[in-house]
Each structure stands twice: as structure tokens, then as C-alpha cells.
Amino acid sequence: MSFHPDKCQTLPVSRKRNPTPCSYQLHGHTLSPVNEAKYLGVTLSHDLRWDIHILNITNKANQMLGFLRRNLRVGSQEVKQRAYFALVRSPLEFASPVWDPYTCKDVDRLEAVQRRAARWVVNRHRKTSSVDAMLEHLQWPTLQDRRRRARLITMYKYTNGLLSINTRNTPTPNPTAKSTRLLHDAAYQLPLCRTTYRQKSFFPRTIVDWNALPGEVALSPSLEAFKSRI
């Protein structure tokens, strides 16, 4: 595979206040550093934050929602709901196990999109109308709950060898799982985390939820059975 140096950039990843400057070259061409870059639809930032990615996807989701409100002139809640699920919510959740936020600011920014969509689907735009009641009527779980479910499904796939990933430096089974009633047999040992960013990354964060699952759920015989039990 060949690379064009003018189309290549470097993304230094560091949370130091004064990171060590580095220069990289490709075929004698010095590559320009950037603070963020999109890779497979996910915006990666130099400081490992996800606020830029979340801002990007919520802006696109709101634009699509506005497009639907202007052009989908039907009164059927079912049709509007399907349009929201396919064209707004689905892109909004792409690769969510990777970037699932933990700050209230980012969580609320994402939930605001769904709350606006609920108003559109049920056609209630008065400020006095309860959006929580609309969400309950539509039986929509929060996006945060859906992302948690997506993380657990990904963890099930990892546990059962359904993911093609490098298992180096990945979690190890908890050696005390079979000797205590508090953990199921598929529990993992929680890795040591020295920073909040590490603690809230996929494996440490999901292991807490995974270990808390009932044994009959975590040890489901198939992926479909697991999905139906969580």
C-alpha cells in the first residue's frame, strides 16, 4: 500500500501540558500535526476527549432531524418514528462502545436530540408539554441506556470470541469468580486505573457493568439469547 505524503497527517496523543514536540517525515515530506482527525467515522482528539466527536454527530443529527421535519409531511407516528430510528438515531449511535461519554454535558447533548425528536414524532411543540411523558408514551429508552446495552453486547462478543481483535493487554478473568457467590463464572478482574480517562474507557467501565450481571445473563448460550435478557 502506498501513501501520498500530502494527504497524510500526524495526530500526537498526549494529556501533558507541554508534550514533547516530534516531527515525522514520509518520503522526505514533513507531515503536519493535527489536533483531531476522523477515522472510520469517529473523530479522535489529541487529548482523548470525545466532546468534539459528540458535537459533530449531534450537529449532523439535528440537521437531519430538521430536514425530516421540513420534508416528511405525514401525521403517522409510526412513519416518523421509523425515520428517526433509521436516519437520526442509528448514525448517532455508530461505534458508541468506543466513545460512550460519561460527562453530564456530553450525555445531555445527545439526549437533547432524542427529546427534540420525541416532540416531532408526537407533534407537541409547546413548552408546557412534558417531554418525559412523550418518551414514556413512545417507549423509547434513553440513549445512555442504549449505549450501555451496546457496550455489554460488545463485551459478550469479546468474551465468547466473536470479535476479531488483538487480545494483548485485554482484561483477564477474575481468579476468584468461581469461589464467590458475588461474581458469575465469566467475571473479569478490574484493571488498575490511575486516571479518570482510563477508568471510563471501554474495558474498565464495561467490566463493572458486566460483573454485575446475573450469571444466567452473562453465561447466555448465544448472542441472541443474551440480547433478549439484558
125-169 pLDDT per residue, tens: 888 889 999 999 999 999 999 999 999 999 999 999 998 888 777
22 pLDDT exceeds 90?
no
CB atoms within 10 A of CB 44: 20
For residue 31, what pLDDT is reported? 85
Residue 159 neighbours by CB under 8 Å, 6+ apart:
186, 210, 218
Q: What is the mean pLDDT of residues 68-75?
A: 90
Distance CA(187)–CA(208), nearest Å, equals: 9
Which strand (E) or helix (H) includes residue 100?
Answer: none
Residue 179 has pLDDT above 60, yes or no: no
Selected residue with higher pLDDT from 132 and 181 = 132
Cell numbers that stand for 111 in this block? 439526549
Angle separating helix axes 77-84 and 104-122, nearest 10 degrees: 150
Residue with the bigger pLDDT between 101 and 181: it is 101
Question: Any alpha helices (H) in 15-103, and if so which ranges?
Answer: 51-71, 77-84, 90-92, 96-99
Q: Which three cell numbers stand for residue 84?
A: 428517526
Q: What grid cell was written down for 50?
A: 470525545
DSSP state of 74: -
Calculate mean pLDDT across residues 192-214: 92
Q: What is the pLDDT of residue 2?
A: 76
Q: What mean pLDDT, rounded, does the chain reach? A: 90
**What's the grid cell of residue 202?**
471501554
Number of C-alpha atoms within 13 angstroms, CB side, residue 90? 7
How many angstroms separate the CA atoms of 117 and 123, rounded? 9
pTM across the whole model: 0.87
182-192 average pLDDT score: 86
pLDDT of residue 180: 63
Nearest Cα to Cα of residue 121 among 91, 89, 92, 144: 89
Encode pLDDT of 96-126 as tens digits.
999 999 999 999 999 999 999 999 999 988 8
Q: How far is CA 139 from CA 17, 133, 135, 147, in A?
A: 45, 10, 6, 16
